[in-house]
Amino acid sequence: MTSLHDTVVLITGAGSGIGAETARQLAGRGARVVLLDRDLNAVEALVRSLDNSARHLAIQADVTNSEGLEDAVQQAVSVFGGIDVVVANAGVAEAGTVAVSRIESLVRTVDVNLSGVIRTVHATLPHVTDRRGYFLLVSSAAALKNVPGGSSYAASKAGVEAFAGALRLEVAHKGVAVGVAHPAWIRTPMYDAQRELASVSNGIASLPWPFNVVTTVEDCAAAFVDAIGERDRKIYVPKALSIVDKARSFFTGALWDRLVMLRAGRTVPALEAEIRERELTA
């Protein structure tokens, strides 16, 4: 595997979960990490916890704010001289059907998860190109299948995959590589928040393998770090999702729809009832 020593890696959504653990493991491999998050306290605390903390940088930035993101990237470049790798990881998720979700929540999911990735790539592309570097864009297993209760999330993550595929072709001749990560369920604060709804927790358990596999954040981050070292094109967490990708037409086709509809008549009303009750008690 290629050495990551002194490689400058910029990570969005680095304050917790996959982003934070990926930063820890990269720092352990000798990389210099630039941690971007809306929560400055979180990334500053993470930097202080890393070995040789002076080698790393915490910056407050919101991927939905292009101007602020551009400023953060310029700050990173001024400190480290350039950027070798970008992990576009910032994301949000909220379980709910279109019928009961607030429109603001639905469109914000797309703005953070997809538009945020586009803004991140646009702001960093000249610097990554200068280093003939690597982008790791975080999609999801949700892009590989259709299930009720996560329409805008799945749309945003499918968009990330499509964006990455086109970007890869645009920058290959410049020596830049692009990878797409498809994690399923990872034990993060986002995962824990969604499991507070009984219908979501039961829904995860009832999904077919490997969509019901729950991976530790440490194992997910290790897969990301390995992918960065190898400049991989596709990353699956768990690895068995690679089989699903090859058979994607089944999980998005008419037969899959019919199978899911057998349960959806029960699971969708249960989910919507839970969300309505939570809204009333909030």
Successive 10-residue mean pLDDT values, the chain, 282 residues? 90 97 97 98 96 94 98 98 98 88 95 98 98 98 86 96 96 97 86 55 62 89 98 96 83 69 71 68 64
Give the pLDDT of residue 252.
Answer: 62
Identify whether 3 is part of a domain: no
Identify whether 2 is part of a domain: no
Give the pLDDT of residue 7.
Answer: 98
Give the pLDDT of residue 282.
Answer: 59
> Is 153 annotated in the active site?
yes
Name the catalytic one among 134, 153, 191, 236: 153
Q: State which residues form the domain around 194.
A: 8-281
Number of domains, the chain: 1
Question: In 29-115, which residue ranges form alpha helices assigned H by DSSP?
Answer: 40-49, 66-80, 103-110
CA–CA gap between residue 230 and residue 226 (Å, rounded): 6
Burial of residue 21 (number of CB atoms within 10 Å: 0-12, 13-18, 19+) = buried
Helical (H) or strand (E) element with 171 = helix 151-171
Give the pLDDT of residue 189.
Answer: 72
- Domain of 25: which CATH number? 3.40.50.720
Give the pLDDT of residue 269.
Answer: 72
Identify whether 102 is part of a domain: yes
Give the pLDDT of residue 139.
Answer: 97
Identify whether 139 is part of a domain: yes
Identify whether 73 is part of a domain: yes
